[in-house]
Chains A and B, each alone.
Chain A
């Protein structure tokens, strides 16, 4: 739910480049540390990433709500491989026009953080609550918490990019216009059709971060609840049918370097 659904070219270049740099660095670290045992888990990573994509095709409410299953990915793969899965999912989504290609780096950080937080939160809740809470409840709580934190991270990323897209260019004044100042000149007057956007001289408009945060948190809360409930139900179902799968995942993760 906490994807940065922000189009290309809206965020400033430095934050996009920083996102790519950090994601690249983490990817290099993850892949270099991957040894033979972890490489054997690549098909599992592929399947879990594909499952995340399938989850994203399920529209829960017809206004674009979908589930990410990132916490399940974290629980099954562990934080390092889940980060790789987040990158793969975001890159494939960008290829399908689902989110900007330039924000893949930032999106990977957000979704990767969501998966890693989910993994650690699930472990923490398991230690704290033990057998008093079912695996489904622990997974649901971990999901709600990690989604809240990753959404705050996303809002934070937007907050540090306090740039209005109309103010990025040296000729920014040329594109900020009032509709009534749009002039359609006589094509014969200048020899060619002319669409002119006349400048507006106004003070710089600050990014209305509060509005964005309010919108994202209000819409996000519904999403976190839906995803937490569904994740809890899925983990509960898997635990009931094949308890070995979740335990095997934990064993493999813990034995990996």
Chain B
């Protein structure tokens, strides 16, 4: 998980998706997931995936890395798909595409929205303590990842993680994690004292930007509604829509190409001598 990179992308981007509110992007992502859940048509799922890929490319973030991160669940989906092998490629393809599309929808949200805004949106439907726990976990995660990175570097430099020395590697890695656990517990005590000194009474402050609506909010909402409508249409209309699913797939492909052109055009003009 490239957590630090994802956080950097969420805070540094300037795309339409970055400018849209956390609320609209969360709703958009949930609509896409609803579409993915409802869809039972491989072509529709591929179309939704391509539309999301086009959106990712249009953000001008490192699209290949994001698509690769979004492909991680495919490994596990493949295991599940294998267990449902029915002699055709349709069921495994559908399971894989569902995993890829849903993961990419969530990644589009988290790579274009700073985490305090995402969690502030969650406060509307989750208990306050849970959202505070989410904030504190995410904050702690960066501290621990940093510490763990240093620990791993130290271990490697001292030969603590050598190739094929599995038993020794496991022991050293466990000691590294043990040390991290001790540091984590010490840090949590310090954090607890800081929160108490600042008057924490079971509710952390939040940014209000999460619901500041603008014209950019239309894009994620339209993307979500489009995915859901397509999925619903394919289920309700069945064969009728089947006659046109090639067209929507083609349109999604064109959207990817258009996004790629849009994402690269300014870079080329700026870089030219």
Q: Which residues on A are within 8 Å of B, measured CB to CB?
A: 3, 5-10, 13, 27-28, 31, 34, 39-51, 53-58, 63-64, 69, 72, 76, 84-85, 87-89, 91-92, 94-102, 164-166, 168-172, 174-179, 184, 190, 192-197, 200, 205, 207-209, 211-212, 215-216, 219, 226, 229-230, 233-238, 241-242, 245
Contact = CB atoms under 8 A, between A and B. Distances in A.
A5 B141 contact: no
A240 to B, nearest CB: 9
Central interface residue in A43, A51, A170, by most chain B CB within 10 Å: A43
B144 A47 contact: yes
B173 A58 contact: yes
A84 B184 contact: no
B11 interface: no
> How many of chain B's residues touch chain A, expressed as a range?
35 or more
Contact of B184 (A10, A48, A200, A216): A48
Contacts of A179: 88-89
Contacts of A6: 76-77, 80
A114 B143 CA distance: 26
A3 B88 CA distance: 27
Contacts of A88: 130, 133-134, 137
Nearest to B44: A175
A102 B86 CA distance: 25
Contacts of B82: 211, 215
Contacts, number: 298
Interface string B1-21: 101001000000000000000
Given A47-B144, A95-B110, A238 B178 contact: yes
Given A58-B173, A87-B130, A234-B174, A47 B6 contact: no
Nearest to B202: A39
B184 A207 contact: no
A219 B79 CA distance: 10
B192 A44 contact: yes
A64 B80 CA distance: 14
B244 A176 contact: no
